[in-house]
Amino acid sequence: MDCINLRYFLPTLSLFMACALPSVAGAQALQNNAPAVGATTAALQPALQAASPLVVEYLGSPRGYSITSAPVEMMCVVKNVSSTPVPAGVYRLQCVPLDGLDYYSGNTIPLLPALQPTQQAYVLWQLKPRDDGHSYASTAILQQLSSPPNSVAKPIGVRIAVFPTLPGVAHFGTPIAGLDKGPQAGFTSTTAWVAANMIAMKVRTMSNREPLALLAGSTNGVWQTCSLLSPFLTVKSGGSGQQPWLQTFRWLNANTSIGAASSSLTLNGTCGKLWEVHMMLTAVTDSSTIRVTVLLTALRNANLEAVQFPVLRQYNQTLPVADGTVHLLTPLSDQLPPTANIAALRVGSSVCGETWPTMPPIPGWQWRTIPSLAGMRSAGYWCTTQPSTIPAGNSIEFKFKLFVRPTATSIRNALAFQER
């Protein structure tokens, strides 16, 4: 597989890096109730890694989910963030299974090759689930070797990842969105959907009630699933006197509204014990966009630092063999302007993505895009260097839109959907 295709994988890897995340010893989790171990948070850099030319940018599932009782694929991405080359054989990565997982096969401690400034490398491992009912979690440790090579390994970076699961491969399935019907929306206890004649979204709940979404577009009634969105919404916040931490949206129930020219799906849930979440997604006839409004209501006094929108991933991508081999990444030349408030990816002949208004939802906040593998943007988020205090009972609204253009000659075609 051409490693350039891996540009679509990276989820929260550099999440909120520009917003001065606190240093943590070990890894801090993307959990709902409190800071704890066990997350796919790539931007949480331990203090011991501060002086290293290499950083672990991401550890987690390359697809955004795992399949229950099937081998778990774990991806680790390392980047040279210094201004000088890193020679081969000086660093290595160690894969260590945690809850619910055991070693499967392949090299669990591969040496890293030479890396030029800004260059990235990645490793794929395959782990075996244990039949003990635990959630899946694993870690990767970036180690520096002393001279002579392999004599002593000093840990300089740690990541811990959790792996929410689905019973099988994520696919759109039924009901078939759009076709010749009018706008539609619906839900069950585990799935939800919203569609018009040109765009459709199907939402599934994973094992931890975290939603995973599939985005599809239509040309002359022919539908193509373009992107998988996971995680769907991430909030960085903390209670009074606490350092903000990362929490993912958990979907609990839903409601719909269907009209002659549009349909809306509202996903209701929580982000930990701090936030009540209402997310309204609206599809309109003859439009290639789904407009999204997120309402966060503080359940108690909260310090809000960042809100990340869905992470884009290529649907049904092909992966190399997960055997611990180290692969280098090739930078992309086809890019969006660096100042564009848009994240997008190209899948076959289609372009899909998300964009958000340039007006900040809270005065002083700034928008950022999350760089994915080889520099592609995989998501957008709002953040601040000084957390905003939201009193209990108060709400904050965030807006963005998702889009699909089924026929595109370049990823720059996504600029036609850019919000102003």
Strand, coil or helix: 5:
helix
Same domain, 226 and 142: no
Same domain, 220 and 366: yes
Q: What is the per-residue pLDDT for 154?
A: 84
Same domain, 348 and 387: yes
Same domain, 339 and 268: yes
Are residues 308 and 381 in contact, defined by beta-carbon separation less than 8 angstroms? yes
Same domain, 394 and 357: yes
Nearest 5°: the CA angle 30, 31, 35 is 90
Are residues 205 and 164 in contact, defined by beta-carbon separation less than 8 angstroms? no
Rounded CA separation 57/42 (Å): 5
The length of the chain, given as a count of residues: 420
Note whether residue 149 is domain-resident: yes
**Nearest C-alpha neighbor of 353 from the set 420, 290, 262, 307:** 290
User: Where residue 19 sits, what CATH number does that domain have?
Assistant: 2.60.40.10
Q: Scanning the structure block, which residue is given the tokens 């209701």?
A: 268
Rounded CA separation 223/219 (Å): 7
Note whether residue 173 is domain-resident: no
Look at residues 96, 131, 166 and tell me which one is the last residue of a structural domain: 166
Note whether residue 409 is domain-resident: yes
Nearest 5°: the CA angle 382, 383, 387 is 140
Same domain, 34 and 98: yes
Note whether residue 13 is domain-resident: yes
User: Where residue 188 sits, what CATH number does that domain have?
Assistant: 2.70.98.10
Are residues 108 and 125 in contact, defined by beta-carbon separation less than 8 angstroms? yes
Backbone angles phi, psi at 322, to 5 degrees: -85, 80
Are residues 28 and 46 in contact, defined by beta-carbon separation less than 8 angstroms? no
A 10 A CB-CB count for 332 gives: 13
Tokens coding 242:
């606490």
Tokens coding 187:
């839900």
Strand, coil or helix: 181:
coil
Same domain, 145 and 196: no
Same domain, 309 and 390: yes
Number of domains in the chain: 2
Per-residue pLDDT of the chain (420 residues; tens, 9 = 90+): 323 233 323 333 333 333 322 222 222 232 333 222 223 333 333 333 447 899 988 888 888 888 888 899 999 989 999 999 999 999 999 999 988 899 888 899 999 999 999 888 999 999 999 876 667 899 999 999 876 655 678 888 888 888 888 988 898 876 555 555 689 999 999 999 999 989 999 999 998 899 999 999 987 777 888 899 999 999 999 998 888 998 999 999 999 999 999 999 999 999 999 999 999 999 999 999 999 999 999 999 999 999 999 999 888 777 889 999 999 987 665 678 878 899 998 888 889 999 999 999 999 999 988 766 545 678 899 999 999 999 999 999 999 999 999 888 888 999 999 988
Note whether residue 68 is domain-resident: yes
Same domain, 231 and 144: no
Tokens coding 347:
């899948």
Rounded CA separation 225/348 (Å): 11
Q: What is the per-residue pLDDT for 30?
A: 28
Same domain, 39 and 122: yes
Note whether residue 367 is domain-resident: yes
Same domain, 222 and 267: yes
Q: What is the per-residue pLDDT for 387?
A: 94
Q: What is the DSSP letter of 323?
A: S
Note whether residue 109 is domain-resident: yes
> What is the per-residue DSSP string for 198-265?
SEEEEEEE-TTS-EEEEEEEEETTEEEEEEEE-S--EEEEEETTS--EEEE-EEEEEEEEE-SSEEEE
Rounded CA separation 213/209 (Å): 12
Q: What is the per-residue pLDDT for 25?
A: 26
For 39, residues 6+ apart whose C-beta sits below 8 A from its C-beta are: 27, 28, 29, 30, 31, 160, 161, 162, 246
Look at residues 166, 199, 226 and tell me which one is the last residue of a structural domain: 166
Same domain, 206 and 158: no
Note whether residue 227 is domain-resident: yes
Tell me the residue range of the domain where 127 lies. Answer: 3-166
Rounded CA separation 153/148 (Å): 11
Nearest 5°: the CA angle 243, 245, 251 is 145
